[in-house]
Structure 1
């Protein structure tokens, strides 16, 4: 009993001291100092959602001269106006910080990943570092929602150019872009959307890259084709707008069903492993809806991606995007990505390796440095997540 009494008295004293300290602390609020000036810091300019892009026909369209000379005039490609949808996605100039761009050049990346193959719908990675984003497109898009005024923060249209809710909020009708084509010229339509849903997301034997499952879009959710350019979602809950975010990168980015479907076990004698591995890294010119197409691969050396001649997005002058001719991905290490970007032999890095932070900051402070640091609204954000329960990626202390 004596031990318990002493413990209780000690606890009471500690509690008294703690409460007193808290009261004293509460009466003296801390005023944080003004942050130091940081030239690399960007400012967010909030804009209306409809000021970023729209779908409409333009009076004329343009492409790089070398595409016209090498491919259109030789009959290898139709004219650019015939390769675009009737109403392409148009990025508005007012929201382009540098205005209308110019064609040309190559962007040099360095990545630490290695491609497993091009069948991302069956779970294969393309090596990360932006490759999968460069070749895939999704129903909706969430970038650049961080710039959109709070009252407008709903995902932007993309492959789905618009959508309508039923009066009770349980059905969502999506209208797909009409006349868009895969990079090999095959039409994009609702069949591609339904193949991804029925034969990759819903099929329990397939695990798409980034882990999409039927439950990603709500328990009991169904999707059906209405016509070639219309699909209809049915949800158990009313107006579940949160699932519009799941329809963006990277959980609803359909692949080319005209290439994938013949390899799927439901439509062939292939096993699921054979389906997954039907398009290895060496398989070039895999049809994509993204801005660049894989055209060259050398193991442990490089991946080259070249502009998609059927890309369905333009600027307000009618210039078919992208502006960059090629993306080169040197296959190295993630730490080397930072080193080469800071040295000027690479053009971009997310600077994700902590061991490189100090050296990179010091190098960028040199006015003659070939690279600069930028912390702004159009780049990847950073945050600190305090891990008090483990000493690593899920490893117990």
Structure 2
């Protein structure tokens, strides 16, 4: 009861602080941000050890697992890990076992939260802590053969699923033959499994060797296997029938190839699904199915559709530190449901989270700074290299209203709206001046950046020019309140922007400010806030008009391109789901894009099959088209607002001063949370 009263008092204190002290501490806080000396640290992180001479000679384990071994309920740790553990050198020190990591999430649609903290990741390859270099991961190593047409993956001998069954090449063959090639499960093939429009194959060489073979050179494949792509592991993509491998021994019992029709129908009925496909995907869901065998260091024990998403250590984890301690150090991760962004931030400020970066509001930075000592945490800022902490996507394949569709597919309409935004006002209000008014292009240091002139292209306020452009394209007529009229005689031209509550930024409030700004150019903007799962449904159904989001990950252009052009269907904001379907199906499904976008798509696809020097030039051309055509409006970027505001308890170890901030690195996974630990 006393603890409960303290929690209530702390929340009351925090609420008061948020409401009354922001103005008092803002000046000092912003001076601290401006110096960048204490909040933005030096980029650092753990390393994967591949030198056989540096591998530990003996393996150790968490005390509770040792007790199970002693009781005969679990095999010895050496048998569980296998002969080729994945060795991680912690960023600072060898840790200690035990404890719980507390965090917050916003519900089942916030599945990214778990992927980021607890998936390991289970990618076959992954990025080093700089986000730039591909390293071994679940696969022990790889080599390119046949002029880039084949990648040979060497698996880790003796590695096992979380239920103790072997992880072998058979899990790749099952995925490819029985999941990926099953049209009921994967009706639209993935572009990541194709080069020049021709799909590749997966072949078993032996128990621990797999080949991905293609008819043309596929030089980008190692990056694709490292990134958050359709070949990015079971946890991230298994529930969509993708990922590159799957637990064959478990999932066969839900597949018609291996189960008699009557038995499968009974299973579907008993599980209360309307089809075997829906049941199969549910059983493949890392966040929802506690029975699913996994390769991740923690596994779900209480699913994400409950108020407390709980993950506990995987006894068969292949992750090990340089002294032979099986990882993770921390026993369990508990993510507690928060109703909205405000609740998550109040809890974080009050010190109720141990490590949290997702959903923290940059606008509350002064309050986070003021409460560090009281909350027992340290605040870090991790700016991203992407151009948009906030962007606005036009759904270019929208069809429900032909008038709206016509204007969204008119380049000068998109450009006029882009220069009708006062980014400086937004930056000062919501970013506290820490962001950069910008188009969508990545940081100037990014190898795919098309040039400094593209930073401000169609990204500088010019109300006079915006009005002239809108008049010129045929929207000169206005109603009595100064809003532009539709050309089909149906009254005022109204456009809706879909925003999400409880997600990183105050998207709705920012959109409301843009709505006021666009009044000056005669555009009537309706702001519609929706819950994330509804946004996913509306986007997939091609119902979204405009969507507010960010373009994090786009700095990894070729492995996380969904915020550059229409690439993904199942996303919270799309620049054209029908165009995305067309792209992935090599033109057999969806809707054919206009010529300029097809040019972008062709350059993008061609880059996968050429050496790096040529790929970099193609990447620059992709960004040039994206910036010139304004398929997506950039607002503010290269700041810490999107998952770059981070709190970590001061007694939590191996916390980097600064971490690479990108969904392609599943931050903080790129910092290897398996090495986080409690110092006391």
- The bucket for the TM-score relative to the shorter chain is 0.7 to 0.9
Tell me by how many angstroms 1:258 deviates. 0.8
Structure 1 stretches lacking a partner, 5+ long: 1-33, 115-124
Inter-CA distance 108–319: structure 2 relative to 1 (3 Å threshold): same
Give the equivalent residue in structure 2 for 1:156.
135
Question: Partner of 2:381: helix, strand, or coil?
Answer: coil
- Alpha-carbon deviations, 1:365-388, whole Å to 9, x = none? 3452413321248x9988435545
Matching residue of 1:10: none
Distance 2:43 2:304 in 1: 40
Deviation at 1:222, TM superposition (A): 1.7
1 CA distance for matches of 2:191 and 2:36? Answer: 48
Question: Which residue of structure 2 aligns with residue 5 of structure 1?
Answer: none
In the alignment, is the contact (CA less than 8 A) between 2:95 and 2:329 conserved in 1? yes
Kindly indicate whether the alpha-carbon contact (under 8 Å) linking 2:125 and 2:136 is maintained by their aligned counterparts in 1. Answer: yes
Partners of 1:35 and 1:207 lie apart in 2 by: 49
- CA distance in 1: counterparts of 2:301 and 2:140, whole angstroms: 29
Query: Using the alignment, how far apart are the partners of 2:178 and 2:366 within structure 1?
Result: 47
- Give deviations 1:101-148, integer Å, cap 9, x for gaps: 11111001211121xxxxxxxxxx7833124762461211125242x5
C-alpha distance in 2, partners of 1:293/1:139?
18
Displacement of 1:233: 1.7
Q: Distance in 1 between matches of 2:173 and 2:366?
A: 48
Residues 1:190 and 1:126: Cα distance change in structure 2 (over 3 Å): farther
- 1:55 deviates by 6.8
Alignment of 1:186-225 (within 5 A): 186-207=165-186, 213=190, 215-218=192-195, 219-220=197-198, 221-225=200-204
Aligned to 1:129: 113
Q: Is the contact between residue 217 and residue 243 of structure 1 (CA under 8 Å) also seen in structure 2?
A: no
1:112 alignment partner, one of 85, 106, 119 = 106
Matched residues in 2 for 1:205 and 1:40: separation?
50
Equivalents in 2 of 1:206, 1:189: separation in Å?
Answer: 22
What does residue 66 of structure 2 align with?
A: 68
How far apart in 1 are the matches of 2:116 and 2:177? 22
Other-structure match for 2:258: 267
Q: 1:349 aligns with which of 356, 359, 376?
A: 356
Alignment of 1:275-314 (within 5 A): 275-278=280-283, 283-297=289-303, 300-314=306-320
Say if 1:361 and 1:287 are closer, same or farther in 2 by CA, change over 3 A.
Answer: farther
SS in 2 for 1:52: strand
Q: For residue 282 of structure 1, report the CA deviation from its aligned partner.
A: 7.1
Question: Matches of 2:344 and 2:545 in 1, distance apart?
Answer: 27
Contact 2:60 2:77 (8 Å CA) reproduced: yes
Tell me if structure 1 keeps the 8 A contact 2:124–2:138. yes
The whole-number CA distance in structure 1 between the counterparts of 2:213 and 2:304 is 45
TM-score, length-scaled by structure 2: 0.45
Q: Alignment length, in residue pairs?
A: 335
Structure number with higher helix proportion = 2
The alpha-carbon distance between structure 1 residues 257 and 339, as it changes in their structure 2 partners (threshold 3 A), is farther
* Rounded Cα–Cα distance in structure 2 between residues aligned with 1:298 and 1:381: 29
Q: CA–CA distance in 2 between the matches of 1:177 and 1:83?
A: 12
Distance 1:332 1:196 in 2: 36
Shift of 1:305: 1.2
> Which residue does 1:91 correspond to in 2?
88
